[in-house]
Amino acid sequence: ADQATEKVQGNFAGADYWRSVSDGTEGYTTSQGAEHGQLINVDGERWRHWRNKWISPGGLIAIGGSLGLLVLVYLTLGCMKLDKPRTGRLVLRWGLFDRAMHWFVAITFLTLAFSGLNILYGKHFIPEYFGYDIWKNLIALSKFLHNYIGPVFSVGLLVMIVRWFGHNFFNMTDLKWFIQGGGLIGNKHPSAGFLNGGEKGWFWALTILGLVVVGSGLVLDFPLFGQTRNDMQTANLIHGGVSLLLVAVSLGHIYIGTIGSEGALEGMKTGYVDETWAKQHHDLWYEEVKDQIKEPAGEEKSATEKGNTGRA
Amino acid sequence: MAKMKFLCDSERCIECNGCVTACKNANETEWGIQRRRVVTIDDGEPNETSISVACMHCTDAPCMAVCPTDCFYQTDDGIVLHDKDLCIGCGYCLFACPFGAPQFPKQGAFGERGKMDKCTFCAGGPEEDPAKQKAKYGANRIAEGKLPLCAEMCSTKALLAGDAQTVSDIFRERVVYRGHKDGAWSSLDSEKAVPGEMSQQQMAALADELAVDAGNIIAKA
Amino acid sequence: MKLTKKTSSGESVVAEKGSKGLGLSRRAFLKNTGITTGGIAAAGFMGNGMIRKAEAKTSYSNAPKEVKRTICSHCSVGCGVYAEVQNGVWTHQEPAFDHPINRGAHCAKGAALREHGHGERRLKYPMKLVNGKWQKLSWDQAINEIGDQTQQIRQESGPDSVYFLGSAKHSNEQAYLFRKFAALWGTNNVDHQARICHSTTVAGVANTWGYGAMTNSFNDMHFAKSVILIGSNPAEAHPVSMQHILIAKEQNKAKLIVVDPRFTRTAAKANEYVRIRPGTDVAYVWGLLWHIFENGWEDEQFINQRVYGMDEVREEVKRWNPAEVENVTGVGEEQMRKVAKMLATNRPGSIVWCMGGTQHTTGNNNTRAYCILMLALGNMGTSGGGANIFRGHDNVQGATDLGVLSHTLPGYYGLSDGAWKHWCGVWGLDFDWVNARFDQNKYNGKAPRNNSGIPVSRWVDGVLENKSKIEQKDNIRAMFYWGHAVNSQTRGPEMKTAMEKMDLMVIVDPYPTHAAVMHDRKDGVYLLPACTQFETYGSVTNSSRSMQWRDKVVDPLFESKTDHEIMYLFAKKWGIADQLFKNIKVEGNIPYIEDITREFNRGMWTIGYTGQSPERLKQHQQNWHTFDFDTLKAEGGPADGDYYGMPWPCWGDAEMGHPGTPILYDTSKPVAEGGLNFRARFGVERDGVNLLAEGSAPVGSEIGDGHPEFSSKLLKQLGWWKDLTPEEQKAAEGKNWKTDLSGGIQRVAIKHGCAPFGNAKARAVVWTFPDKVPLHREPLYTNRRDLLKDYATWKDSESMYRLPTLYESIQKKDVSKEYPIILTSGRLVEYEGGGEETRSNPWLAELQQEMFAEINPYDANNLNVRDGADIWLEGAEGGRIKVKAMVTRRVDRGVVFIPFHFGGKFQGKDLTSKYPQGSAPYVVGEAANTATTYGYDPVTQMQETKVTLCKVTPA
Ligand SMILES: Nc1nc2c(c(=O)[nH]1)N[C@H]1C(S)=C(S)[C@@H](COP(=O)(O)OP(=O)(O)OC[C@H]3O[C@@H](n4cnc5c(=O)[nH]c(N)nc54)[C@H](O)[C@@H]3O)O[C@H]1N2
Ligand SMILES: Nc1nc2c(c(=O)[nH]1)N[C@H]1C(S)=C(S)[C@@H](COP(=O)(O)OP(=O)(O)OC[C@H]3O[C@@H](n4cnc5c(=O)[nH]c(N)nc54)[C@H](O)[C@@H]3O)O[C@H]1N2
Ligand code: HEM
Ligand code: HEM
Ligand code: SF4
Ligand code: SF4
Ligand code: SF4
Ligand code: SF4
Ligand code: SF4
Ligand SMILES: [Mo]
């Protein structure tokens, strides 16, 4: 017995030791590096797993799926043309400020999306197809843009939410709109107010997911408030996951705004939409504003244009 | 081809920080960048145990797997290196690294951490001009046929570096001498470690396993 | 370049270079890193081409490399270093795998040595303080001004008013020259770190068995079966020694026992850790001996043959029954018995002690008690045993040996006229001329020439004490701090007052030091930039008495000058250069180092510093790889048979070729081959009892028994006089082994197998010391007032080393209510001493950026102090420091530990702005010694830095 106890004496690092360090226990260190007291960062592996095994492929699936779906929709339905010919009479839909804001948000969003996607997926194909030098610059640019545009976008998004949330409350009309699948089910266009159910959906998706993306993005962007490595990992997972989802959803919006539906883009470009378009897509709203319709001659209605669309 | 590995024998490590300043000496990393550090668990308490840690040059390196720029590469010796020209300082490698090895010069706003720096196993980095290589990545001792300075200078020879097989041979020899298995900072199956209850053969077999690969720890962590 | 992936077919440049460079030789390198345990690891290790260059040029300079061999300057282990120099720049530091002591290994300080080649925070040129501002001046001007002022003081107050504080950082040559320099100035007011380091060891040990030094070597500890470390923390203070200690533990199954009030990093490696109350070492050792005697575990034969006075010790030990030991030390009977048994059943055993034992008012008692423990166990004079006293600075052993001390001349010759005459003979100087340099008056009946000077621990009192109470003409009015940081001395606030009172302060140091900033002087302070040991060359003696030669690595940085050059400049200014350098060639202003070595070789007979000629030293230096890692003996090669560094005594002259003495008092070898016995130093009999060894002598001794020291008379009696050559006879007539400059007496004694210094018993009682048998006495500041009736301190003394010294009158005052916590201090691995050098090294400074105090969670909670919070720590004499709390169980309840390496802050005030521009260290902090208190060992004047009282309050 004496011999056995003698053998165990001394400070060998036994089972307990390994158990304790591999659950992330902190020790003492003279190193000033952040979290240098921790021998094993247990969460790193969890993070890598989630990011590389779920978020990364998940994002591809979501975005790819979204794109695929849109292609399918386009192939089966084609562009949603106006049912009737344009009357040439224009209705003011988006004021200058609204348009500016929209494009500001859209452009920053897209910048973030492209740079974000590059950060996540770029390495898998860009260096191979475009070479090291291009990759080197592109990824550095992506990181730079993403880091700096992020906060800019955040401000834009907040302003947008505040400004637009008023006309995005759901009502019975929207329910019906949804029941009719936005017009896909049945033959007739579902009724809609200034914004239809789909648009409102997009708005709220953007608001909720966007805020999450912004919040997590800011945590990642400003690692100055004592965020631990662990916090950063969590923020990254949330950020990655949610932003990819948002990108996937945004594709739908962009699809409709561009090739999906004739006439919609005009509204965001010029502020005015054609009477026909308004009737077809937003009949209830049309009823409200038809008396303000601008004649094709196009004389200025500057008061309305500059100000509010009157719907807030 | 040899696989380069570190092993820190905690029975020997006395937390003298020799390895830490040796690294400074070899690589002249700036103030605040510590490629190697010594961590003491149970500091000041009966089970006090110290371990010297740096990059473990993992076989299936997590840092490599998450780096957005793909700037890591592994040499034929198993040394994990990275290209600072490519690094964007995103910090992902640090998030992923089980050992907290990646270091960043400064932590500015906008996630700007500067180019990542980490232990190179004293193997320099991807830069042909020796002067530039030295300035950017520190020493390339491997090219000179020398091993990492941290291990070479370790005060008690606790820190071993080199070919995994040789390192494990040395450690195995110690285990046999000691008559009990004890901690080493390398891969280690702690469950099997029952000091005093193993035959010499068992110990030798276990010791062999110990000195191989950090990957196991990672897998378990 | 194109990146190469692990999987890609294209080879990366790095991998290519790697694989080429890693061919055959890599296996050898691998072994180097791992070489530890013999067997496979050892095979093929020695003599490999560690600096083999690969084809690839990787250094950032293509200039050819010169490889210099030097020795780490940060502690007494004496680790070897390869310094690679290109174009005069120290570009690489490589591990010296073939060095017999460290095998390439270093602790933080040694591994950061190359930073000395940068020295950004060095003092760059001479400076003086003018109206509170630092002003640059030329060397000429500085030497002239200081030279004039000191001479003025000399005229007014005598030579003793100038104080020469030397350094354990000096090489042997510089140290020796420094002592001589002070002597020729005409004072014994010269001292260095050893006083406040191991002085009590040197006194205690030398008075026990003859020589005051570590008896075995670091390497020899491989053979120990047990190692008891008491008041020593090598994991931080001598880290590379741990390589050897852990080898003993692993390969030899040695039991490690650590006795320390703190659970140190060394304790973390121990088989048994014993926590004692600070300041109770004598009680602890007697407690062990109680069990040893009780169980008959002592080595009877050894005691009978080789120890005098053990019976008196037995009497004292009887008092120390387990209950009393527990009451005093706090260690219970069971553990006492366990440790006693461990020591008894694991022989040979080695004892290691350091500052935990020495730095006490009772230091001399502690060190003797440790010796007695080893004597009782028969652990002396044997491989694997011994008193392995790890010394401090890189050359504190050498500087001590060469007498940079206020109580002796080089070689422990003392200060008697005989000693002066011996050295005057070596110096080729007229004794009367030397004598005339001194103050000829007597004070308290003592002539300053023969009276010990004021020790470094007391210079503050030398300045502040009432003139009439000092045994010299006047107070100290000028101080040279020549390689010695002042924050290493106790009683900081009083020191500040002293500094402000003096006429002149001269700091000769590579760094400005705390001394440059802690006072509020406006003028009268000079800073002279000295070189480090990497900017010069010479010999250095490590803890185990091995002398090692250092190459010069780089030229002096900035405008700094070597210490010997600065001494020359002052000597010239004072008109004593011709005498000081009579036998020493001076080229330009630079004295020739080898001539200095040869000069002390000619005089250092007492301790055998005579055989280590520069040539032999350099030969050892060039052949590190030929010395055995366990025994330190050269096998083959040009130094075949020598022990590494010719550990002193290396008897006779160099021609005699003595190999050095690797283990002191080891009778298993002939004296000619490094064997020895205890020294006959204390007479041949006392009260009718024989003091000489009985039936014990080194192998091959023709006397075969104890004998007195050799003299011409003894040689004649033995009929060995005729063995001397006629010239030797002429020189040796009327001389003894210490004073015969021809070395003939030593040669002949050794020829007959005898130790020149006689063969006696070690003495367990020292009748010339205040406590004949070491006694436990409570520290001056103690909170165990209940123990004072049995263990009170000594009476105050009128005169010790020229000064009145207080004991009883301090202990009597009870301050333990106000200051309830025991304060102790010590080391951190990253910093050295006062820390100015190491805190100016960014590679080290980065690791310890904050002065702190270790405090037990229990006390911290009671005092409402959180980990990392600022606290005020106030010492029992009112000195206050503001530091961070480190809450840890490393210290016991009621004990606070502080490291003493910080400076540049004083009682809450940051002094950084007071440093000359660009020379403030990277890290500043409160000096521990601002809070330490009075207390001096009665034999050596060691300061008390290990036990006092304090109070802690949240800041
Ligand atoms: N890193 C580093 N190394 C150094 C130095 C340095 O400054 N820094 N300095 C060198 C020098 S000059 C020296 S002298 C050596 C000193 O080396 P050491 O003496 O080993 O170092 P210290 O830390 O001063 O003290 C050793 C131990 O004594 C303990 N102690 C305190 N009081 C008592 C007591 O009453 N009894 C006992 N038994 N123990 C006690 C302390 O808790 C401490 O752990 O180190 C040398 N090496
Ligand atoms: N509270 C407390 N106080 C202590 C101790 C303790 O444990 N606790 N320990 C004590 C002990 S053991 C010691 S040894 C002392 C140590 O204390 P010091 O000896 O005062 O400490 P160092 O900082 O090593 O001082 C050496 C100085 O020499 C300078 N120097 C280096 N090389 C050279 C050179 O070649 N030439 C010249 N001219 N100068 C040079 C350095 O810059 C430094 O300023 O402290 C003692 N003080
Ligand atoms: C090229 C891409 C885009 C196009 C062509 C586009 C087009 C449009 C159009 C035409 C509208 C008006 C719809 C209507 O009048 O009913 C609109 C509205 C809107 N767009 Fe976009 N858009 C794009 C990108 C984005 C992006 C990236 C975002 C957000 C990050 C965004 C957010 C919005 C929001 C919030 C609305 C208002 C919907 C509501 O309030 O419910 N758009 N977009
Ligand atoms: C709204 C659109 C956004 C999208 C689509 C997006 C997308 C992404 C993606 C895909 C990543 C990579 C995740 C990974 O590799 O695991 C990423 C990283 C990051 N995002 Fe975003 N993000 C968006 C907005 C923001 C915002 C608003 C901020 C900050 C305010 C931000 C800050 C960051 C940061 C700091 C990173 C870490 C990458 C680095 O520092 O290099 N992002 N983002
Ligand atoms: S230790 Fe960390 S940095 Fe090094 S290879 Fe592994 S994951 Fe990468
Ligand atoms: S910090 Fe640099 S090396 Fe690390 S993951 Fe980011 S880009 Fe890669
Ligand atoms: S291998 Fe080289 S770079 Fe890595 S920690 Fe050791 S010294 Fe530093
Ligand atoms: S040098 Fe060796 S003993 Fe010292 S801390 Fe590093 S690994 Fe541990
Ligand atoms: S400080 Fe001492 S132990 Fe450390 S490297 Fe220097 S000589 Fe060796
Ligand atoms: Mo010391």
Q: Convert the pLDDT of each residue in C615-642 to its tens digit.
A: 999 999 999 999 999 999 999 999 999 9
Residue C361 corresponds to which tokens in the numbers above? 């008012």
Q: Which of C460, C509, C553 to mutate to test the pocket of ligand 2 (most atoms within 8 A of CB)?
A: C509
Q: Which CATH number fits domain C792-954: 3.40.640.10, 3.40.50.1370, 3.40.50.10130, 2.40.40.20?
A: 2.40.40.20
Mean pLDDT of C188-201: 97
Coil, helix or strand at residue B67 = coil
Nearest CA to ligand 2 atom 16: C833
User: Average per-residue pLDDT in chain A?
Assistant: 84
Residue C64 corresponds to which tokens in the numbers above? 């050819």
Dihedral through CA A106, CA A110, CA A112, CA A118, nearest 10? Answer: 180
pLDDT of residue B180: 52
User: Average per-residue pLDDT in chain C?
Assistant: 92
- Count of pairs with CB atoms under 8 A, one residue in B, one in C: 256
Give first-to-last CA distance, chain B, whole Å.
28
CB A166 within 8 A of CB A311: yes
* More confidently predicted of A228 and C487: C487
Nearest CA to ligand 2 atom 20: C485
Q: Which of B85, B93, B110, B120 to mutate to test the pocket of ligand 6 (most atoms within 8 A of CB)?
A: B93
Coil, helix or strand at residue B79 = coil
Nearest Cα neighbor of C744 from C767, C717, C722 is C722
User: Predicted confidence band at C52 (pLDDT cuts at 50, 70, 90)?
Assistant: very low
pLDDT of residue C402: 97
Mean pLDDT of C398-407: 97
Distance CA A271, CA C525 (A): 82
- Domain boundary assignment for chain C: 127-193+396-603, 199-389, 709-748, 792-954
pLDDT of residue C191: 97
Give first-to-last CA distance, chain C, whole Å.
57
pLDDT of residue A41: 82
Cα A306 off chain centre by:
29
pLDDT of residue B170: 78
User: Predicted confidence band at A262 (pLDDT cuts at 50, 70, 90)?
Assistant: confident
Answer whether B116 contacts ligand 6 (Cβ < 6 A).
yes
Find the range with the poorest average confidence among A122-136, B163-177, C37-51: C37-51
Q: Is the pLDDT of residue C764 over 80?
A: yes
User: Predicted confidence band at A153 (pLDDT cuts at 50, 70, 90)?
Assistant: very high
Residue A252 corresponds to which tokens in the numbers above? 């739908």
Answer whether B67 contacts ligand 6 (Cβ < 6 A).
yes
Mean pLDDT of C77-83: 97
Distance CA B70, CA A135 (A): 10
Distance CA C661, CA C656 (A): 14
Neighbours, chain B (3 or more CB pairs < 8 A): A, C
Distance CA C356, CA C261 (A): 9
User: Residue C480 Cα, ligand 2 centroid: separation in angstroms?
Assistant: 14
Q: Is the pLDDT of residue A45 over 90?
A: no
Q: Convert the pLDDT of each residue in C837-895 to its tens digit.
A: 999 999 999 999 999 999 999 999 999 999 999 999 999 999 999 999 999 999 999 99
Q: Is the pLDDT of residue B219 over 90?
A: no
Distance CA C749, CA C734 (A): 16
pTM score, whole prediction: 0.90
% chain C with pLDDT above 90: 93
Coil, helix or strand at residue C918 = coil
- Do β-strands B80-82 and C904-906 pair in parallel, antiparallel, or remain unpaired? unpaired
Nearest Cα residue in chain B from A56 = B66
Nearest Cα neighbor of A232 from B134, C480, B95 is B95
Find the range with the poorest average confidence among B117-126, B154-163, C824-833, C908-917: B154-163
pLDDT of residue C924: 97
Taking the CA atoms of A66, A71, A75 and A78 in sequence, report the sign of the dihedral they define: positive
User: Predicted confidence band at B189 (pLDDT cuts at 50, 70, 90)?
Assistant: very low
pLDDT of residue C903: 97
User: Predicted confidence band at B179 (pLDDT cuts at 50, 70, 90)?
Assistant: low
Query: What single string gives the DSSP state of each residue in C318-345?
Result: HT--HHHHHHHH---HHHHHHHHHHHHH
Long-range pairs of C625-630 with CB within 8 A, sequence gap ≥ 24: C625/C46, C625/C47, C625/C98, C627/C100, C628/C100, C629/C100, C629/C103, C629/C219, C630/C219, C630/C220, C630/C222, C630/C223
pLDDT of residue C378: 97
Distance CA B135, CA B154 (A): 24
User: Predicted confidence band at A13 (pLDDT cuts at 50, 70, 90)?
Assistant: very low
Domain B4-152 in this protein, CATH class: alpha beta
pLDDT of residue A148: 92
* More confidently predicted of B179 and C716: C716
- The set of residues, in sequence order, having a beta carbon less than 8 Å from that of C935 and lying 6+ positions away, is C360, C361, C490, C779, C780, C781, C810, C943, C944, C948
- Domain boundary assignment for chain B: 4-152, 163-220
- Total H helices, total E strands in chain B: 8, 7
Distance CA B48, CA C391 (A): 26
CB atoms within 10 A of CB C699: 13
Residue A191 corresponds to which tokens in the numbers above? 């009724």
Distance CA A97, CA C237 (A): 72
Residue C750 corresponds to which tokens in the numbers above? 């050794």
User: Predicted confidence band at C607 (pLDDT cuts at 50, 70, 90)?
Assistant: very high
Nearest Cα neighbor of B178 from B52, B6, B9 is B9
- Burial of B46-65, coded b for 16+ CB within 10 Å and e otherwise, reads eebbbbbbbbbbbbebbbbb
DSSP state of C147: H
Q: Is the pLDDT of residue C488 over 60?
A: yes
Distance CA C39, CA B171 (A): 12
All residues of chain B having their beta carbon less than 8 Å from the beta carbon of residue A4 are 196
- The set of residues, in sequence order, having a beta carbon less than 8 Å from that of C445 and lying 6+ positions away, is none
User: Predicted confidence band at A283 (pLDDT cuts at 50, 70, 90)?
Assistant: confident
Nearest Cα neighbor of C557 from C73, C64, C62, C88 is C88
Q: Which CATH architecture is the domain C199-389 placed in?
A: 3-Layer(aba) Sandwich (3.40)
Nearest CA to ligand 5 atom 8: B63
Burial class (CB in 10 A: 0-12, 13-18, 19+), C839: buried
Q: Is the pLDDT of residue B187 over 50?
A: no
Q: Is the pLDDT of residue A4 over 70?
A: no
* Domain C127-193+396-603, classified CATH 3.40.50.300, yes or no: no
Q: Convert the pLDDT of each residue in C516-540 to its tens digit.
A: 999 999 999 999 999 999 999 999 9
The answer to whether the complex's ipTM is over 0.85 is yes
Q: Which of A111, A119, A146, A147 to mutate to test the pocket of ligand 4 (most atoms within 8 A of CB)?
A: A146
* More confidently predicted of C30 and C371: C371
Question: Which residue type occupies B63?
Answer: C
pLDDT of residue A16: 52
Q: What residues have their beta carbon closer than 5 A to ion ligand 10?
A: C 197, 392
Nearest CA to ligand 5 atom 2: B97
User: Predicted confidence band at B107 (pLDDT cuts at 50, 70, 90)?
Assistant: low
Q: What's the alpha-carbon Rg for chain C, to the nearest Å?
A: 27
Would you call A30 and C271 a contact, using CB atoms and an 8 Å cutoff?
A: no
Q: Is the pLDDT of residue A59 over 50?
A: yes
CB C489 within 8 A of CB C103: no
Residue B61 corresponds to which tokens in the numbers above? 């390196």
Residue in the structure block whose two tokens are 């097989």: B165
Pocket of ligand 9 (CB under 6 A): C 72, 74-75, 77-79, 102, 106-107, 109-110, 238-240
Coil, helix or strand at residue C85 = strand
Answer whether C278 contacts ligand 2 (Cβ < 6 A).
no
